[in-house]
Structure 1
Amino acid sequence: MALPKDPRQKMINFMYLVLTAMLALNVSAEILNAFSIVNNSINTSNNSLTAKNNFIYSQFEAQMKDNAAKTAPLKAKAEEVKKLSADMYSYLESLKETIVTAAGGKDEHGEMKGKDNLDAATRIMENEKKGPDLEARLTKLRTQLLSYVDPKKKDQFEKTLPLKIEVGKSGNEHGNLNKSWTTYHFNMVPAVAAVTILGKFQNDIKNSESAIIDDLFRQIDASTFKFDKVRPFISLNSKNLMEGQTLTAQIAVGAYSTTVNPTIVVNGQTITATEGLGTFTAAASGIGEKTISGTITLPSPTGGAPESYPFTETYNVGASTTSISADKMNVLYIGLQNPISISAAGVPAESVSASINGGTISKRGSGEYVVTVSQPGKAVINVVANVDGKVKSLGQKEFRVKRVPDPVLKVGVNKGGSMKAADFKVQGGLRADLEDFEFEGVKYEVIGYRVGIQAKGREYTEGDATSAYFPGNVAGSIRSLRPGDEVYFENVKVKGPDGVVRPMPSTIFKLN
């Protein structure tokens, strides 16, 4: 049940290290805003982890219905881990609120007023000794969490558990000086940085909780579940065959044993079973519905009379029906890997192959293909199959070939028109997003534009960008934007997945 590491989480950890280092150089408004952004990302990540962990806890409940004896003790441990983590998370939240209050509280928008306050964290965490207390609590929590790990994996978990309580080193004019954990993290740091650091520890706790409960859940052994019913089953290579093809049927008993070979009779013919499995073959002939039937007889495990189980299965013999469909829609897009599904009734997928005019097609799985095209217009896919040693044409289908649609220009999440000045100022550049497009992950690259700023009471400024980012000569004007100002984008050029550079219409943002 372990989930892969979220790329957002890796970025949060990286930004946390960079911003902490930047504090030693200068506490500028940009750095304070950057800490706010990181703190918001941490909170979002924490919410995602909470949802993921709650799902795992619900799976313990589900397993209790089928395997209570094995699940109950592991579920009890998971609940203890949940409480330990929740208690520490709440304690960290209370510390964050205390620091925010000491720094002046929040404004009407819910933003911290004294982000740059250097006294609040130092006074609360060092002078009032909340820091050493937090260090002791986190150290104890780490030890408690590791106590729930399988002893065979404890060494591994001690190295990888996200919650770590480490003391860094820094230098002064007298050489290296070992600092206390509290001093290293909270001495003379802005209030917003202290809140972000505490949020980072909350994130470590959530990730550690996730690792521990995942390990507990894996210890539930599904193989201990008992099957209490026996029934025959039959598996055909296909239920729709072309005339002249071979029918193959595999016949066994549900929950069958490889150490007991049943007696199998199909259409009056006795089939030899190997490791509990019998295989019946017959040539398909005559168009229409056909039937195979028979019995499976097992010896009694107690030495009594053998038990027989009847079965019946139908299949159809007919002409081949071929399906060729684009997984997204009946269009192939230039510059993309277009997924195509191809199936032919009665023909094994491995025997089917396809070709296309005006492009290339490659097989990536059973019945799954990828098509690439380069010119707009039309393309035809032809399908053939090797049927009993002979190549047979199964059909063709025509597709439209189009270029990927133009993107929408955005700053942040806004498409132009009215936008808050405060939101605009914290953005880094112009984006080009595809909206309501069938393919996921298709992106456009902004390669250049001209930006003009008409600010009330100031001179008009403009600059030319050679990438998505705002040009440096208008950075000051952007930081000074106020409600009532206007920002223009023109001569915008973007490059899509087909490598073609496209001009985009001009757009304007009116700030409020």
Structure 2
Amino acid sequence: MALPKDPRQKMINIMYLVLTAMLALNVSAEILNAFNIVNNSIVTSNGALTDKNNFIYQQFVEQMKDNAEKVAPLKAKAEEVKKLSAEAYNYVEGLKNLIITESGGKDENGELKSQSDLDAPTRVMENMKKGPELEAKLTALRKQLLTFVEPKDQAKFAKTLPLKIEVGKSGSNDHGTGPKTWTTYHFNMVPTIAAVTILGKFQNDIKNSESAIIDDLYRQINAKDFKFDRIRPFISLNSKNLMSGQTLTAQIAVGAYSTTVNPTITVNGQTITATEGLATYSVPVSGLGEKTISGTITLPNPAGGEPITQSFTESYNVGASTTSISADKMNVLYIGLQNPISISAAGVPAEAVSASINGGTITKRGSGEYTVTVSQPGKAVINVVANIDGKVKQLGQKEFRVKRVPDPVLKVGFNKGGSMKAADFKVQLGLAAALEDFEFEGVKYDVVGYRIGVSAKGKEYQEGEANSAYFPNSVAASIRALRPGDEVYFENVKVKGPDGIVRTMPSTIFKLN
């Protein structure tokens, strides 16, 4: 609109314009001063963030001293975050310096000479295409930083990460033909001090995002560790059954447990309920010697994924209340046999116990189990000692009777003499010697010789000498011809038992019917 031609009115209009310009200048000065205050605050904040981030990086170094294997991969990621963030931060710092230079630089006090210059930011960021270049770098940095977050947390971090590349809701161009570009929205025709402040804000976003990522990486060092909030004393004794002269040893420790996470415990196939981190397993014990219990402890993985399972095996000894020496086959030792003996001592591990015997030999077969062999009838004494705390201690002794294996019973087939059917006798091959009702199984006697006589009605008496269990050939025909009423005699029968001694058995007669 043209000014009125009237001089008075013209003067009034000129004064109005001057006053309006002066008012505008005053508002601009206040705004510029406000930008200065904000920019200085951002610079201070960036310095504090740098110090804080450097402290976290130093903590990675300290953690490496304690557990390098676990920390090293996370420290390497943190170093990569530091490198990427520093590159982006320095690039933005370079843009700030370029805009300041384009606007006329700084005065001798370090203040911007042209804080209100609107051309420099537009020229650098739009005309020189530094704005799109910055947008691309910040977008790439954001994507790279999110890759250092665990997949399960990426969606959460994507929402909260300070570094965001976006245009405000009011961002439309001056012509109304569409939304402003990111560069235009932030840097088109803004004062130099405003552009520097905006770039400082992006630097602050970079520092804050760097801080969020490395904090999360540092958290991961102990993320898979269980947080124990209670302690309990544990006392383990070397034995709860001690003898005079033994030494009591107690191992005392403090165990930590969680009141919020109870493990799943399985012992010998049985699941045990745990309360406040502790489960109790009880079972009656039986048998003598060393026994074991085994199982697993399973805890949820604090970091998610498969549960953590640990196996365990613990051994214990079962013994009698006092020293026990017993023959497994009665209180008798038999000559020529492998006599099994069980020996146990309360409160003493089976591996510390040893035994000896006079008049024979004793051999250890297993935990608490021995084999004794003797050679002379009469008595034998088994003596038991134990190595306790490096000293040999007498535990006890026991006397046993030593006997020969009982005489066998002479048999032809299943018959032990007396009446026997002729038809049954004729099909037998010889004379046998068998033990009946004996404690040991599998003990055998061998028939080594005998004299046999066959008395058949109406026939001459036949005799023969055998040097084995089989009937001799000299009487084979007579045996095949046996009939009811005939008799067969066995005399001077020699048998050999497990002790190797040949015994003479009483004569026996079979009357056939």
Q: Where on the TM-score scale, by shorter chain, does this alignment land: which range?
A: 0.3 to 0.5
- TM-score computed with the length of structure 2 as normaliser: 0.42
